[in-house]
């Protein structure tokens, strides 16, 4: 029985390890997307500043103004797509965390069961030894 539990425990540990690995990949992907979002936000802010500077000057450079506006619009559209990707990645990360917690709980259940069986075997062993000692010390008739 303990051999089967040891095998099951190894399987459960493999499951935990796999979930940890998948969570690490999901976290890395989410962080990469967050970094890209921050970069896009910096670029968008830079474009806003440049637009603001262009409109403050005495003469308007319409071509430069349109170019900056188109670029800002493009960055905004990219950010929307990237935000959707980030939200999806965050959901995957959350699911991977839940899977890891569940796998760890299943592993702990098997560990506790194995510990109980080992304790029970030790108690039975002690009882058997106590019986042998009692029989050895009993007077023979």
Mean pLDDT in runs of 10 for the chain (141 residues)? Answer: 85 96 97 97 92 77 86 95 97 97 96 92 93 81 59
Which residue is associated with the tokens 């030894």?
129
Q: Which domains does the chain possess?
A: 2-137 (1.10.287.1700)
The answer to whether 64 and 52 have CB atoms below 8 angstroms apart is no
What integer pLDDT is reported at residue 19 of this predicted model?
Answer: 97
- Rounded to two decimals, what is the model's pTM? 0.76
Cα–Cα distance, 49 to 47 (Å, whole number): 5
pLDDT for res 90: 97
pLDDT at 25: 97
Distance, CA of 89 to CA of 81 (rounded, Å): 12
Structure tokens belonging to residue 86: 């980030």
What pLDDT sits at residue 28? Answer: 98
What does the pLDDT read at residue 1? 65
- Cα four-point dihedral sign 108, 110, 114, 120: positive
């Amino acid at each position: 029985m303990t051999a089967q539990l040891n095998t099951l425990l190894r399987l459960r540990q493999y499951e935990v390890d796999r979930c940890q690995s998948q969570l690490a990949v999901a976290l890395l992907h989410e962080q990469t997307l967050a970094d890209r979002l921050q970069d896009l936000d910096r670029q968008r802010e830079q474009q806003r500043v440049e637009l603001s500077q262009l409109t403050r000057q005495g003469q308007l450079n319409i071509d430069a103004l349109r170019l900056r506006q188109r670029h800002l619009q493009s960055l905004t559209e990219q950010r929307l797509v990237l935000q959707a990707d980030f939200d999806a990645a965050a959901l995957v990360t959350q699911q991977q965390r839940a899977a890891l917690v569940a796998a760890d709980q299943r592993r702990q259940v098997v560990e506790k069961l194995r510990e109980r069986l080992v304790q029970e075997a030790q108690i039975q062993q002690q009882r058997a030894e106590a019986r042998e000692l009692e029989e050895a010390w009993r007077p023979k008739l």
